[in-house]
Amino acid sequence: MLVGHRTWVYENKPVIISTGTVGGPFEANGNIPNDFDILHDNMWLKQDSFEKSQQKMMEEACQVAVKNSSIQKEQVQFFIGGDLINQITPTSFTAKTLDIPYFGLFSACATSMESLALSAFLINGNGADYILSGSASHNAAVEKQFRYPTEYGGQKPPTAQWTVTGAGCALVAKEGKGPVITSATIGKVVDMGMSDPFNMGGAMAPAAVDTLETHLRERNVEPSYYDLIITGDLGHIGRHVSLDLLKKEGIPISEDQYVDCGLTIYREGQPVLAGGSGAACSSVVTYGHFLNQMKQGLINRILVIATGALHSTLSVQQKDPIPCIAHAVSIETGSDMS
Amino acid sequence: MLVGHRTWVYENKPVIISTGTVGGPFEANGNIPNDFDILHDNMWLKQDSFEKSQQKMMEEACQVAVKNSSIQKEQVQFFIGGDLINQITPTSFTAKTLDIPYFGLFSACATSMESLALSAFLINGNGADYILSGSASHNAAVEKQFRYPTEYGGQKPPTAQWTVTGAGCALVAKEGKGPVITSATIGKVVDMGMSDPFNMGGAMAPAAVDTLETHLRERNVEPSYYDLIITGDLGHIGRHVSLDLLKKEGIPISEDQYVDCGLTIYREGQPVLAGGSGAACSSVVTYGHFLNQMKQGLINRILVIATGALHSTLSVQQKDPIPCIAHAVSIETGSDMS
């Protein structure tokens, strides 16, 4: 099951039997509105704080995933997830509402694939029959915590990214219909000394390349094995940096094959600077858009490399560089996709 | 391997081949100084912030654990851990120093056993040969973040607890000499509506009881199966609340058999109010004190129930109750303890 030093191959092929994706008004106006199960027309969802609005979206994503399956919520053994808010309170409060045993995680925007890799491992090793795996973020809650309240109207450089408002959840099972999870490569913390919190894509690119290079070597496949290699939220800057690094390392990858969730979710003209980001970015785009493409037969094998910047406002104020990580999970067409 | 709904029995019996425990001056002056590998005589460890001091302790705990084993750091596949600081930066920076693939977790003070349960599952299922599993906290860093800087000298009610300055780490392996990890029960979020951040023990007690009751039922053992049932950081108040709840539920448990890490680490007379707490509390006391007792043949079977309060300063300010969780792991004498 462990191949190489940090890659798992799941011989029992856990299945994503259903998903739930929720977005806000900015996402509704974006590039892939039809790939969301629920879209909200305002940022509040009738809650009295943005953090509770994020919690509500995570609850909805989990509820939709269960509703879209043939099982009952009571059959789910574990909820595994996290988010960007201090002490991941929106995720913990979701675990309370769901009333499902809970593992809290933190890998910033790489949490989606940290969660999916662990969920698949637990299912593969008979640790559970059903697991809900997810991540969420909220633009206004994250801006308030990491930068300024959005009402302040703070200006940003063009390297900055736009935090996705949304939540994405996958219901992973031992057997059933749907795409299967075939392997995962766990990230190392990579830190190239970058300390600008307004250029996260650039900081995270080397982590994505390190995980991709390790994955290809340890799983012993060529990049062409995958129809798409999908990064989490590198944005324009990070994508270019990582393509340069891949070229330098002699890894043959075509530009068409190498896509980014942060560049998929919004359309041209939306003021998202270098692209989308946030813990929800890779989960909503993967579980919504790319799994839909897979169900439609347009693609058969994807590798999702979720990227995370593991800093805090305090670590940036204390002049620490931004430690980054990337976790990769491969998802492939199952024998029964109907 | 899954018995009941949320209990795992590890049939391959992962081994804790070595441990590392680090403490600060308050712990050096406490009840169990001989159970620490390293004790520091000040809170700074020559670092320029308390967060970096915490990071340094976590690095030391991991380094000591590797040094106390017969393996090299390069043989360790994963580092799994977390802490209480926003975005768990001290743990992520430790992962960078260690240069080991990393899973970041957050379950507040229950992180120690969340990490040990997952580490044992990954080892048991051939996902790794060696994993470093740990948690850390620092009194001054946590006080500054959750309450007031310690220099302010804020007064506290007698229900409050004292955050442990320290780090505890276990090196978990497929085979080797040492105590074995036999089972784990994963916690649910339990919230009885308590919202006083100065009475965490009282808030966490129902979560500990819920996990203990579930563990006994799903593993199908009596409390007397264990020499000790050890809670993480309930302190005086939480211990009494939980003993009352256990009595009410008709679970036969003797007071001598039911101990708390937060009441073990400090001696009578230290001004720790209701007892010790913090993410390091259960990890240093378990990996130091109780595993030493096991090696000396004084005890053979323990169940460690780490308890966590999953609130943030923001969730308390927003008048949310404190959601709590408890994860339990059983550790038993191995066939070869020399």
Sign of the C-alpha dihedral, residues A246, A248, A250, A252?
Answer: positive
How far apart are alpha carbons B54 and A154 in whole angstroms? 33
List the one residue out of A19, A4, A41 whose CA is nearest residue A181: A19
Q: What is the pLDDT of residues A175-186, one digit of tens each?
A: 999 999 999 999
- Indicate the residue of A82, A95, A122 with minimum beta-carbon distance to B189: A95
CB contact under 8 A, B188 and A99: yes
How far apart are alpha carbons A273 and A335 in whole angstroms? 40
Tens digit of pLDDT at every position of chain B (338 positions): 899 999 999 999 999 999 999 999 999 999 999 999 999 999 999 999 999 999 999 999 999 999 999 999 999 999 999 999 999 999 999 999 999 999 999 999 999 999 999 999 999 999 999 999 999 999 999 999 998 888 888 888 999 999 999 999 999 999 999 999 999 999 999 988 888 888 989 999 999 999 999 999 999 999 999 999 999 999 999 999 999 999 999 998 999 999 999 999 999 999 999 999 999 999 999 999 999 999 999 999 999 999 999 999 999 999 999 999 999 999 999 877 65
Q: Chain B, 125-154: which have a CB under 8 Å from a chain A CB?
A: 125-129
Which CATH code for domain B180-332? 3.40.47.40
Task: Tell me whether domains A2-173 and A181-332 share a fold.
Answer: yes
List the one residue out of A118, A128, A20, A122 whose CA is nearest residue A69: A20
SS3 content of chain B, % helix, strand, coil (to 5): 40, 25, 35
Largest Cα–Cα separation, chain B: 52
CB contact under 8 A, A128 and B314: no
Letter for the amino acid at B95?
A
CB neighbours of B270 closer than 8 A, spacing ≥ 6?
B26, B29, B30, B162
Q: What is the ipTM of this complex?
A: 0.97
All structural domains of chain B with their residue ranges: 2-173, 180-332
CA distance B296 to chain A (A): 33
CB contact at 8 A, A115 and A311: no
Largest Cα–Cα separation, chain A: 52
Letter for the amino acid at A251?
I
How would CATH label the architecture of A181-332?
Answer: 3-Layer(aba) Sandwich (3.40)
Say how many C-beta atoms besides its own lie within 10 A of residue A129's C-beta.
16
Letter for the amino acid at B102?
Y
Region for residue B146 given its phi and psi (left: phi exceeds 0; alpha: psi -120 to 50; beta: otherwise): alpha
CA distance B320 to chain A (A): 10
Q: What is the β-pairing status of strands B324-332 and B180-185?
A: antiparallel
Letter for the amino acid at B302?
I
Q: Chain B, 87-126: which have a CB under 8 Å from a chain A CB?
A: 87-89, 92-93, 95-96, 99-108, 114, 118, 121-122, 124-126
Q: Which residues from chain B sit within 8 angstroms of residue A106, using beta carbons?
A: 82, 87-88, 104-106
The topology (CATH level 3) of B2-173 is: Peroxisomal Thiolase; Chain A, domain 1 (3.40.47)
Spans of chain A below 50 pLDDT: none
Say how many C-beta atoms besides its own lie within 10 A of residue A161's C-beta.
26
- Indicate the residue of A93, A315, A325 with minimum beta-carbon distance to B323: A93
